[in-house]
Amino acid sequence: MVPITHYLILALLMFSIGVVGVIVRRNAIVVFMCIELMLNSVNLTFVAFSKQWGNLDGQIAVFFVMVVAAAEAAIGLAIILSVFRAGQSIETSDAAELKF
Amino acid sequence: MNQAAISATIWPIAFFPLLGALLAYVLGRKERDWAGIIATAASALSFLWVVKLVWALPEAHYFEDQLFQWISLADLKVDFTFRVDQLSAVMCMVVTGVGTLIHLYSTAYMHEDEGRHRFFAYLNLFMFSMLLLVLGGNLMVLFIGWEGVGLCSYLLIGFWFKNLAYAAAGRKAFVVNRIGDAGFLLGIFLLLHLVGTTDFVALQPAIMSGNVALGTDFYTLVALCLFVGACGKSAQIPLFVWLPDAMAGPTPVSALIHAATMVTAGVYMLARMGFLFVLAPAALAVVLVVAVATAFVAATTALTQYDIKKVLAYSTVSQLGFMFMAAAAGAFWVAIFHVVTHAFFKACLFLGAGSVIHGCHHEQDMRHMGGLYKKMPITCITYGVSVLAIAGIFFFSGYQSKHAILGALEHWHNPHLKEWIEYILILVKFTAFLTAFYMTRSFVMTFLGEYRGHAHPHESPWPMTVPLIVLAVLGAFGGLALSGSLGFSLEHYLAALNFGAAAEHHHESIAAALINSWTGLLGVGLAFVMYTQLKELPGMFLRLVPPLSKLLSGKYYFDELYGAIIVRPLEGLAAFLWKVVDQGMIDGMVNGTAAFVDATGELRRITQTGQLRYYALMLFGATVFFIIFYYVL
Amino acid sequence: MELMILVAKVIVALFLVALHLAAFCTWVERKGSALIQDRIGANRSAAYVQTDNLLLKPVAFFLRIMGGLGVINTLVNDAVKAILKEDFVPAGVPKFVHALAPFLAVFPIFLAYAVVPMAPDFEAFGQVIRLQVASLDAGVLFLFAMGSVSVYGVAMAGWSGNNKFSLLGALRASAQMISYELAMGISLVTVILVYGTLDLYEMVNAQGKLWGICYQPLTFLILFTVGMAETKRGPFDLPESESELVAGYFTEYSGMKFLVFWLGEFAEIGLFALLLTILFFGGWNIPFFTYPSNHWIWAIVGFHVLLLKVVFFCVLQIVIRWTLPRFRYDQLMDLGWKILLPLSMLNLVFYAALKLSGGIG
Amino acid sequence: MAVTFYLMAVLLLLSAVAVITFKNPIYSALALVFNLFVVAGLFATLDAHFIAAVQVVVYAGAIMVLVMFVLMLLSAKLEKASPFSPLYFGAALICGLAFAVTLGLEFDSGFNSAPPASDLQGTVAAVGKVLYSRYVFPFEAASLLLMAAIAGAVVLARRRYRTKEL
């Protein structure tokens, strides 16, 4: 079996990639996807720990993360659609009017 | 009150005026004339209910109507109870009876005023509060009524609130009353704390048994506290200054509130708590001194007034002093007797004055009146009868009650002031003489001689004259009817108020009575002569003693005195608090906080780029920083 | 040995069942539609095959029969034509996605065949063999997952066509599939609830006495309707309605790639028929008959019983497709969201209550 | 087994990098779908079968379909390419690396590299038992959350007033 540490490092790397994506990308949907990336890496650690300690609570947590992700997708995409309707753009840098 | 309770339906007495107030306001907004009719009807219904109850009230019993439990806090239980005993019955009769007449009078007096729906609503609300006051079975309910009448008084004094001076008069009445109420509340709280109840039925045996930790000192303290309240409400020195100003209200209001009913609430309260006062002779002595001083000061001030309502106002203050004298002597029934007769003739006087003012198109200065007996005969006759009554001429009602007061003072058995009572009696008699003098003066200046004004006086319509006639008749014969001569004795009726004081009966002949009314006769005669024949004499007299005349026309400079020692410093303090503490410190702190936030906000604004990824960068950068900070450093 | 059994299973599932069903459906589509429309249909291929060789005469005869029935036309001619045709790729198209899409559309469907049991267990080579490639604990869940993944092929095909018809077709298709997936999921949950298991083999076993259709007819109706919509056929073929969108999301496909879509579609019909049979029609069970042993003979009998039922449902779907007129798009959405979804929810509540009260299971 | 894991790990990282590097968001989405499948596979290697299936159904089957749908809806109008910002790229890279390194340092101290000891199986029945007993209230709360999200999405996406046509 693969030691848990490897899973964790894998998740860490994936999370970091997600972080970089959130910062670098300006397309709101891509930013959204990068957040999904980060969520998934966290899910991976949950399941890995769950296996490590023989405890299903980690998998339950993943289940709830997925619920939240689904809700987030529904609302987030609706917001992105609204933003697009308002400004004909889903670039995050274009939606910078509410800054002061 | 060692009497038996009978449960009865009392609440409608107070309920009618309350409903009337609501209806008069709501319906009166649509149709102004309905307000007067509704209010008068409500008042009359209330009167009828009172008559019905009083008729059925057996001797040595009282009616009780326990509505609901009002306050329930741990050991403190206060019921909302109405009681009608003999004392309440007398007061209710006066309040609703005189009140109804004045309502009727007002429908004519106010018929041109735009806000009369408001007026009648206030008037009925006042009736409600006053009935609450006299019906209340404990001090707490009484206090609601007490505050209620104060509120209505304020509202009605300032009824023409667009006139700033009137509004200020209302405010003055309110503020001065607050000072008295503070004392009253202290008294109530002391009773609650030390006796645990304010219910009169429970209070009386508790007080009289003497099982109170602090003994007589406590009685004196509580009695004085309550008397402070009475001083405020009933316009005694030092809190009388509001009453003359209260004449700013419409004249029916002056008649009802500031002559017949509300201002006698203090007397009623003293009578109600009589069992406490008789156990505190020192307090009674204080009451006597204050009462005599008030009566004398007010009477002398009234001598120099030219405003007809002001004369009546000072007269009221003076008569209230007489009532308190009776109470101070322990003869509470006499005090109530004078309350009743005073209600009759003073209401009549005020309404007569109102009739004159109405007839002369809102002229109040007696120097611009005169000769009105031709134009307003009914008003003239009723006013004259009432003047004779207040002057204390036998057989008019004023004689009966004043004679009883003097009789009570002659039997002063209080250890305090025992040696001074002779001199006090002389002063009181002199005051009675002054009363007759200035009232005759006002009558002569108003009705006799030649008309000096420019308006076209006319007699008032029937809704105004009918109450005048009724009240004049009552003022003439009421005293006799209540004194026992006609088979009904108020003294006997109010026997429960006799707390061991010596009740002396002295039947006198008519001749003796006429002789006994010499002070009144002297005053009336002197004034009549001075103001009809020797018109220069009063002026000469005043010029002879310039400081005195100045003192009198300046109303003893009470207002100025209070202004200097209380109002001015308070204003200074308020100005300090306003300018320095509020504007300087508190506003400074608030504005400074805002300015600080504003300034730092300007700085923070630079970091708000609106770029999502910038925020994300900051977020993760900070996370990295803290991880490094925690693990590496 | 293990590996060989696995390979055998895959061959059975993929070639014997999936591809055969697809082929059969294609033929029924062609010839059956002709029957319904009172045409003759394809009948010319191999019509003139003649031979003098006596040995080959029966073969030629067979070919002529097959040609007359249109089988050769459908399975050989069309396939050859498609393979030989130019694989035209429009300009300005993301080539990778364009090429990937058909396979993404087909892949999950064939993958789904892996978890479907095809016959009762039997004993061979000294062990009990179950004719099911992957005996998953959550078989139904896997089916559902594959169903939802198959949207990608459609969506990518439509998007990569760089053509507004195909894009519109793809949007319609994915919206339709997402919408009907809800009712499908809830109905599947109802079925799971009733049988108390997610294992398809266990479900078939549970119907040994009484077929599922007898006590959950509404669930069957809902699932059948949803299945028709998920395959984007029958009256639900709006994503590829010829009169509006040319050919919908595969407008820009030709040749082999088009054939793959075609194959996937018919494989999906077969899959749904298989699923309905297993969930509601007792799988390989025969009424009033229990398989006496797990001899391999009985496995073959069961397998054919199963196939018979599946064929029936395939034909039923195609007949419906050629009988009913097409929905309007708002009618389609109304049916999915306002009728089927609430109905399936009520259905679920009903069976849950029944289960709770001990009525079933 | 180990080989599968490392193969998956490589695919996972490659697809993750692809998500953030593709210019075309559709490609990013496809890469993410692949990534999610690989994650599901990783879940399967950890014996979390139920979670793996749910991962495919929910993430790949629902969320990403939604994303793709929106992308396809909008893609024709999104011609503008984001100009590359070296400043942000550098900052992000440093940030990500620092993140990885600093958290990675922690593994030295915290965990040994012993393989997982438990033989936990995340079957449907097992997860279901825990979910419907200990976590039944969070589960119900989650249903409320989803309901609110549906309502919110409907309200947000409905066209209340006519702006410029899409």
| pLDDT tens, position by position, C267-283 | 888 888 888 888 888 88
DSSP-assigned beta bridge partners for residue A54: none
Least confident of B585-594, C77-86, C128-137: C128-137
Quote the longest CA-to-CA distance of chain A: 54
Beta strands C127-129 and B76-84, pairing class? unpaired
pLDDT at D84: 60
For the sheet with B4-7, list strands across it: B4-7, B61-73, B76-84
Give which of C93, C154, C159, C179 to mutate to test D binding, by max D Cβ within 10 Å.
Answer: C159
Buried b (16+ CB within 10 A) or exposed e, B380-393: bbbbbbbbbbbbbb
Asked if the Cβ–Cβ distance from D102 to B628 is below 8 Å, we say: yes
CB contacts < 8 Å between C and D, how many?
A: 70
Beta strands B61-73 and B4-7, pairing class? parallel
CA pair distance C67, C42, nearest whole angstrom? 8
Chains that touch C (3 or more CB pairs under 8 A): D
pLDDT at D57: 84
Residue in this structure with the two tokens 């299903």, named with its chain if needed? A56
pLDDT at C23: 80
CA pair distance C175, B431, nearest whole angstrom? 104
In the three-class reduction of DSSP (H, G, I as helix; E, B as strand; rest coil), residue C289 is classed as: strand
Assess A87–D contact: CB distance below 8 Å, yes or no: no
Band of pLDDT at residue B165, cut at 50, 70 and 90:
confident
Q: Of C126 and C108, which is predicted with more confidence? A: C108
Asked if the Cβ–Cβ distance from C151 to D65 is below 8 Å, we say: yes
**Is B254 in contact with B317 (CB distance < 8 Å)?**
no
Least confident of B27-36, B79-88, C86-95, C187-196: C86-95
Q: Give contacts of C152 with chain D, Cβ < 8 Å.
A: 30, 33, 65, 68
CA pair distance B90, B336, nearest whole angstrom? 8
Asked if the Cβ–Cβ distance from D95 to B632 is below 8 Å, we say: no
**Is B95 in contact with B340 (CB distance < 8 Å)?**
no
- Helix ranges (H only) for chain D are 2-21, 25-45, 49-54, 64-75, 86-110, 124-133, 136-157
CA–CA distances in Å: residue B468 to residues B40, B308, B371, B439, B448: 16, 17, 19, 17, 19
DSSP-assigned beta bridge partners for residue B229: none
**Is C216 in contact with C194 (CB distance < 8 Å)?**
yes
Band of pLDDT at residue B127, cut at 50, 70 and 90:
very high
Give rounded-to-5 percent helix, strand, coil for chain C: 70, 0, 25
Q: Strand runs (DSSP E) across chain C, as ranges?
A: 122-124, 127-129
Kindly tell me if the per-residue pLDDT of B1 is higher than 50.
Answer: no
Predicted ipTM of the assembly: 0.69
Buried b (16+ CB within 10 A) or exposed e, B105-118: bbbbbbeeeebbbb
Hey, where are the domains in chain D? 1-76, 123-157
Q: What would the pLDDT profile of B283-327 be if each residue is shown by its tens digit?
A: 888 999 999 999 998 888 888 888 888 888 999 999 999 999 888
Q: Would you state the structure tokens that stand for residue C248, as one six-digit string?
A: 């919908």
Nearest to B110, CA basis, from B455, B342, B351, B427: B351
Nearest to C155, CA basis, from D65, B379, B2: D65
Assess A24–B contact: CB distance below 8 Å, yes or no: yes
Q: Give contacts of B620 with chain D, Cβ < 8 Å.
A: 95-96, 99
In the three-class reduction of DSSP (H, G, I as helix; E, B as strand; rest coil), residue B473 is classed as: helix
Kindly tell me if the per-residue pLDDT of B502 is higher than 50.
Answer: no
Query: How near does any CA of chain D get to the CA of B627, in Å?
Result: 7
Band of pLDDT at residue A26, cut at 50, 70 and 90:
confident
pTM, whole model, 2 decimals? 0.54
CA pair distance B466, B330, nearest whole angstrom? 37
Q: What is the pLDDT averaged over residues D72-85?
A: 62
CA–CA distances in Å: residue B12 to residues B65, B101, B128, B398: 11, 19, 10, 33
Q: What is the pLDDT averaged over residues B36-49?
A: 91
**Is B209 in contact with B275 (CB distance < 8 Å)?**
no
CATH of the structural domain A4-87, one choice from 1.10.260.40, 1.10.287.3510, 3.40.50.720, 3.30.1490.20: 1.10.287.3510
Query: How near does any CA of chain A get to the CA of B587, in Å?
Result: 27
Hey, where are the domains in chain A? 4-87
DSSP C165-186: HHHHHHHHHHHHHHHHHHHHHH
Residue B273: how many CA atoms within 13 Å on its side-chain side?
30
DSSP-assigned beta bridge partners for residue B490: none
DSSP-assigned beta bridge partners for residue A91: A27
Q: Strand runs (DSSP E) across chain A, as ranges?
A: none
The minimal CB distance from D42 to the residues A30, A44, A63 is found for A44
The dihedral built from the CA positions of residue B452, B453, B454 and B455, taken in this order, carries a sign that is: negative
pLDDT at B41: 92
Q: Give contacts of B610 with chain A, Cβ < 8 Å.
A: 95-99
The minimal CB distance from A33 to the residues D19, D145, D154 is found for D19
pLDDT at D166: 47
Band of pLDDT at residue B240, cut at 50, 70 and 90:
confident
CA pair distance B271, B261, nearest whole angstrom? 15
**Is C121 in contact with C294 (CB distance < 8 Å)?**
yes
Query: How near does any CA of chain B get to the CA of D92, in Å?
Result: 7
Least confident of A67-71, B429-433, B439-443, B537-541: B537-541
CA pair distance B424, B296, nearest whole angstrom? 11
DSSP C5-29: HHHHHHHIIIIIIIIHHHHHHHHII
Asked if the Cβ–Cβ distance from A75 to D152 is below 8 Å, we say: yes
Give which of A93, A94, A98 to mutate to test B binding, by max B Cβ within 10 Å.
Answer: A93
CA pair distance B390, B436, nearest whole angstrom? 7
Q: Is the peptide bond between A64 and the residue preceding it cis, with omega within 30 degrees of 0? A: no
**Is B409 in contact with B275 (CB distance < 8 Å)?**
no
pLDDT at B45: 92
Kindly tell me if the per-residue pLDDT of A100 is higher than 70.
Answer: no
Domain spanning D1-76, CATH architecture: Up-down Bundle (1.20)
Band of pLDDT at residue C47, cut at 50, 70 and 90:
low
Kindly tell me if the per-residue pLDDT of B501 is higher than 60.
Answer: no
CA pair distance B490, B487, nearest whole angstrom? 10
Nearest to C175, CA basis, from C252, C251, C248: C248
The DSSP letter of residue B61 is E
What's the start-to-end Cα distance of chain C, in Å?
Answer: 38
Residue C292: how many CA atoms within 13 Å on its side-chain side?
1
The DSSP letter of residue D161 is S
CA pair distance B607, B615, nearest whole angstrom? 9
Residue in this structure with the two tokens 């978890």, named with its chain if needed? C115
pLDDT at B131: 92
Nearest to D94, CA basis, from A23, A8, B627, A42: A23
> What is the residue-averaged pLDDT of chain C?
81
pLDDT at B130: 92
Percent residues over pLDDT 90 in chain B: 10
Q: Would you state the structure tokens that stand for residue B181, as one six-digit string?
A: 């109420």
Chains that touch A (3 or more CB pairs under 8 A): B, D
